Amino acid sequence: MRLASLQKAVARAVMQPLTRNERTGALGPGGESMSRYAARYIKPNDRLTSFERLEIYNRQYWFRVFGAMAEDFPGLRAILGERRFDDMCRAYLMECPSQSFTLRNLGARLEAWLRRNPSWLRGKKVLAFDMVRLEWADIEAFDGKAEPVLRVEDLHGVSASKLRLRVQPYVQLLELHYPVDDLVLEVRKDDQGADFASNAIAERRKHVRVRAVGALQPKEIFLVVHRIDYSVYFRRLKHEEYTLLRILRAGKSIGQAIGLAFRGSSLPESNRGGYVQRCFETWAALGWFCQPSVGSTGNLKIEKGKV
């Protein structure tokens, strides 16, 4: 048998779901007896049968991917509860198994999968989707691509009103309905501080916090998830600031973004220039803008004193 074929055959067995008591099931791929399947590909030794040797890897695989999902989505785990979260992960990973060399991408399809299978969320759909989107944005912000940061000299000879600024790929923009940013930070704090003796207390505390957040009236929350020195931060934005960033990310010019951002805004026109200036100063200081791509700025001149 060729090595690639052997690897695929063993992988199919290793990725078979565990039983409720976290053991390898009696049936293998295709409904065949797992004992016969294992004997065809794995040699026994003087201590373990082929089935027992395979079971070691089968259990290790599932314990590792369950652990990775729990680490990546502690907020969703708190919302669903430990047992339901584990069952949901099992169903998700059976339909959307790992396709990457890294566990980082394990939850990449979770939101889409949950939208096809909303019964896992019961009466917490909006809260749960807010949390899933936030926790995946956290992953993307942590190790997403960073391009060279925009410098002042990159803007020489460019009209500010027609300039198209590019937002860093790792900067994530979210529209939420519940303060899941606060909730996930509290959940993480509980997880970090809990030991075996206090784990039950921490779980009850998380349950109380989830109920309190879920009882709130939904409202618009605009959030940016970004990183500084490989630490991820959440920053709430006003509607105008969020809209400016979103439209710039869509490729519109600064002039177009400003025009669209203040449609229906209650901010007095006399205050808008200073507001926009402060926004751009903050974003530039945080390094959220990339150097312009070739040909994106044109041969225009800066209009001094204008945004």
At 199-247, the pLDDT tens digits run 778 888 899 999 999 999 999 999 999 999 989 999 999 999 999 999 9
Contact 127, 79 (CB under 8 A): yes
Domains contained in the chain, number? 1
Facing residues of 221 across strands? 176
Domain membership of residue 246 (yes or no) is yes
Q: How confident is the model over 267-280, as a mean pLDDT?
A: 94
Which of the pair, 98 or 162, is modelled with greater confidence?
A: 98
Cα-trace Rg, the chain = 25
* Lowest mean pLDDT across 13-27, 130-144, 159-173, 220-234: 159-173
pLDDT at 194: 60
pLDDT at 160: 61
pLDDT band at 291; cut points 50, 70, 90: confident
Domain membership of residue 22 (yes or no) is no
Domain membership of residue 279 (yes or no) is yes
Which tokens is 73 given?
A: 């989505």
Nearest to 248 by CA among 277, 290, 211: 290
The angle formed by the CA atoms of residues 130, 284 and 261, to the nearest 5 degrees, is 55
Nearest to 154 by CA among 36, 256, 291: 291
The model's pTM: 0.87
Domain membership of residue 156 (yes or no) is yes
Which residue range is the domain that position 160 belongs to?
A: 147-178+220-307
pLDDT band at 195; cut points 50, 70, 90: low
Q: Where are the alpha helices (DSSP H) in the chain?
A: 3-14, 34-41, 50-72, 74-80, 82-95, 110-116, 125-143, 180-193, 199-214, 239-249, 254-261, 269-285
Nearest to 59 by CA among 10, 117, 17: 17
Q: Is the pLDDT of residue 170 over 90?
A: yes
Domain membership of residue 265 (yes or no) is yes
Domain membership of residue 250 (yes or no) is yes
pLDDT band at 269; cut points 50, 70, 90: very high
Domain membership of residue 127 (yes or no) is no
Q: How confident is the model over 54-64, as a mean pLDDT?
A: 96
Domain membership of residue 306 (yes or no) is yes
Q: Is the pLDDT of residue 305 over 50?
A: no
CA dist 174 and 134 (Å) reads 7
